[in-house]
């Protein structure tokens, strides 16, 4: 309870009422134009409850954690404004370095993340939230959840623009999956990156797919891309190749001629893989830790590390592999399966993992039902039927593979896989929808065969 005070009791309900009232008023105005806004307030409320739920878990169930440390570091940063504004401005504009530590004192508190560039970036972004929250951890979490919802809503709008008939299903995928609005709403890296991911995809969709809102889209892509690179650059490893496939697919859709289209589809895969490799090379030159060789070696190290005793049963094993390309690729099925469907219920060793296990079981059952419905061999034809489905499916699998390969325990996995789960579930819904729609068209176009028995009977009567 050391993180709670009278400020929480006073300002949390005030901020909560103001935010929800403002959201409700805005949604009521927009729903007359866009009916999907009926999910706006409910989606925001889910984010808020998820963020506050995570805050309570990390202050009561777990004694501390990343989210607490981000808050404490931001609090120390904010106190520095009043103690020495010149030092505050210097630290604000400096890169993460051990020298930042010496700007602080016992009066401000000492930051723990001043040497970690990615965590330090989150601290700087959280700084102003802490100020508006009157240095309250719960109110800071509330503001973080509310603002990050904007990026998630942009992402939802992209999908309902293409599939308005699936507005409920897309709401489930992007707004109401428990693990996503829980781990993606608190004061954590995942919250900022998932929000940025939403703005990035919204920008790409408007700029390169439908060709409108160009200035806003460019600004959205630049800012959100910068946030992703600053916090979790590896997200782009799966995102950018999928975006390339998405854009090329859209261009191919505009070509007339089924034979030419079929011939160009393999090009999508080749370009996507080629771009992924090129991006890894460029990223590795800028950030040494993201060199391809380093990533492969890290995956092997994590694989060996997960067998250590200190993981206390929270680890998962995808089998032995080495740092060669062939060995790494051989782990695609098990690594991807692990990222999407694990931990299983039987692998859960605490309440949080058990709840995640239930969610994973539901997604697994849904996946099997869709595969049975569309028949496995028709799946890939359906995936390439719509450009947004192609992007969504490839991004989900590429990201899941990278996370399943490099993550060594379930505690990290349930957080790291957040970006891929909504896209994967959305892909399942869209695949099922396209198949059923195609089936309806086939049934509607079937020629009704004449009733031969009735014709024979009529001829007999005439005779």
Over residues 288-336, the pLDDT tens digits come to 555 555 555 655 665 566 555 444 556 777 777 766 677 778 888 998 9
209, part of any domain: no
Q: Which residues contact 67 (CB under 8 A, 6 or more apart)?
A: 54, 55, 58, 141, 186, 187, 188
**Residue-level pLDDT at 417:** 92
**pLDDT at site 352:** 82
Domain boundary among 185, 201, 217: 201
Say what percent of the chain tops pLDDT 90. 48
Are 259 and 345 members of one domain? yes
The pLDDT tens digits for 350-401 are 888 899 999 999 999 999 999 999 987 788 888 988 999 999 999 999 999 9
Contact between residue 302 and residue 404 where contact means Cβ atoms under 8 Å apart: no
- Domain-located, residue 353: yes
Query: What would the pLDDT profile of 66-84 be if each residue is shown by its tens digit?
Result: 999 999 999 998 899 888 8
Query: Residue 255's domain spans which residues?
Result: 234-463
Q: Which of 201, 222, 242 is the last residue of a domain?
A: 201
Count of domains observed in the chain: 2
Neighbours of 329 (CB within 10 A): 12
Q: Whose structure tokens read 């989900």?
A: 396
Q: What is the pLDDT of residues 196-241, one digit of tens each?
A: 999 999 999 999 899 888 999 999 999 999 999 899 888 887 888 8
Rg (CA), the chain: 25
- Long-range CB pairs of 266-273, under 8 A, 24+ apart, other chains included: 268/390, 269/245, 271/244, 271/245, 272/241, 272/242, 272/244, 272/245, 272/394, 273/241
Is the same domain home to 191 and 238? Answer: no
Residue 114's pLDDT is what? 87
Residue 131 has pLDDT above 80, yes or no: yes
Answer whether 173's CB lies under 8 Å from 426's CB: yes
CA 61, 63, 69, 72 torsion: positive or negative? positive
pLDDT at 379: 86
Show the CA angle centred on residue 236, arms to residues 366 and 153, nearest 5°: 60
pLDDT at 445 over 70: no
Burial of 279-304, coded b for 16+ CB within 10 Å and e otherwise, reads bbeebbeeeeebbeeebbebbbebbe
pTM for the full model? 0.89
């Amino acid at each position: 309870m050391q993180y709670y005070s009278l400020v929480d009791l006073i300002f949390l309900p005030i901020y909560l009422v103001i935010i929800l009232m403002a959201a409700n008023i805005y949604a009521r105005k927009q729903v007359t134009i866009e009916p999907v806004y009926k999910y706006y307030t409910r989606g925001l409320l889910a984010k808020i409850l998820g963020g506050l739920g995570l805050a309570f878990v990390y202050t009561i169930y777990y004694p501390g954690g990343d989210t607490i440390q981000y808050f404490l570091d931001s609090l120390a940063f904010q106190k520095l404004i009043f103690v020495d504004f010149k030092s505050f401005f210097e630290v604000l504009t400096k890169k993460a370095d051990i020298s930042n530590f010496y700007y602080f004192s016992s009066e401000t508190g000492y930051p723990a993340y001043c040497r970690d560039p990615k965590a330090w970036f989150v601290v700087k972004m959280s700084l102003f939230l802490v100020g508006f929250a009157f240095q309250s951890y719960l109110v800071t979490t509330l503001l973080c959840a509310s603002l990050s919802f904007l990026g998630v809503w942009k992402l939802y709008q992209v999908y309902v623009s293409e599939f308005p008939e699936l507005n409920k299903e897309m709401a489930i995928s992007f707004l109401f999956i428990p693990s996503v609005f829980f781990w993606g709403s608190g004061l954590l890296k995942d919250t900022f990156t998932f929000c940025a991911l939403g703005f990035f995809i919204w920008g790409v969709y408007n700029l390169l797919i439908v060709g409108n809102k160009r200035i806003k889209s460019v600004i959205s892509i630049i800012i959100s891309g910068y946030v992703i690179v600053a916090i979790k650059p590896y997200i782009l490893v799966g995102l950018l190749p999928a975006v390339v496939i998405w854009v090329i697919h859209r261009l191919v859709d505009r070509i007339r001629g089924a034979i030419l289209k079929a011939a160009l589809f393999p090009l999508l895969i080749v370009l996507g893989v080629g771009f992924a490799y090129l991006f890894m090379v460029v990223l590795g030159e800028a950030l040494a830790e993201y060199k391809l060789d380093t990533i492969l070696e890290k995956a092997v190290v994590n694989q060996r590390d997960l067998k250590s005793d200190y993981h206390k049963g929270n680890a998962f094993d995808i089998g032995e592999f080495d740092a060669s390309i062939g060995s790494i690729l051989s782990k695609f099925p098990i690594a991807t399966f692990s990222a999407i469907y694990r931990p299983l219920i039987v692998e859960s060793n605490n309440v949080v993992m058990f709840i995640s296990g239930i969610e994973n079981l539901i997604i697994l059952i849904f996946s099997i039902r869709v595969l049975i419905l569309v028949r496995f061999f028709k799946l890939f034809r359906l995936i390439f039927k719509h450009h947004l489905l192609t992007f969504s499916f490839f991004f989900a699998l590429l990201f899941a593979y990278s996370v399943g390969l490099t993550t060594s325990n379930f505690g990290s996995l349930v957080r790291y896989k957040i970006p891929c789960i909504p896209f994967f579930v959305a892909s399942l819904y869209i695949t099922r929808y396209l198949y059923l729609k195609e089936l309806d068209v086939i049934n509607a176009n079937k020629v009704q065969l004449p009733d031969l028995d009735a014709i024979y009977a009529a001829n007999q009567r005439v005779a």
